[in-house]
Amino acid sequence: MPKKNEYTISIKHNASETKETSDSIAEQIKLFLKSGGQIDKIPSGVSGQISLGEKVRLAREEQQRKKEEQQEKREKQRKEALKADNTESHINGIPCPAE
The residue among 16, 77, 18, 52 whose CA lies nearest residue 85 is 77
Does 21 reside within a domain? no
Does 11 reside within a domain? no
Q: Which structural domain, as residue segments, surrounds residue 60?
A: 53-89
Taking the model in full, what pTM does it have? Answer: 0.41
Does 84 reside within a domain? yes
Does 24 reside within a domain? no
Interval 21-75: pLDDT, tens = 888 899 999 999 999 999 888 888 888 888 899 999 999 999 999 999 999 999 9
Does 70 reside within a domain? yes
Q: 19: pLDDT confidence band, cut at 50, 70 and 90?
A: confident
Question: Whole-angstrom Cα distance, residue 96 to residue 99?
Answer: 9
Q: 92: pLDDT confidence band, cut at 50, 70 and 90?
A: low
Higher pLDDT pick, 12 / 55:
55
Q: C-alpha angle 75/77/78, rounded to 5°?
A: 65
Does 75 reside within a domain? yes
Does 43 reside within a domain? no
pLDDT at 82: 84
Does 61 reside within a domain? yes
Higher pLDDT pick, 2 / 80:
80
Asked if 21 and 27 touch (Cβ cutoff 8 Å), the reply is: no
Higher pLDDT pick, 35 / 10:
35
The total domain count for the chain is 1
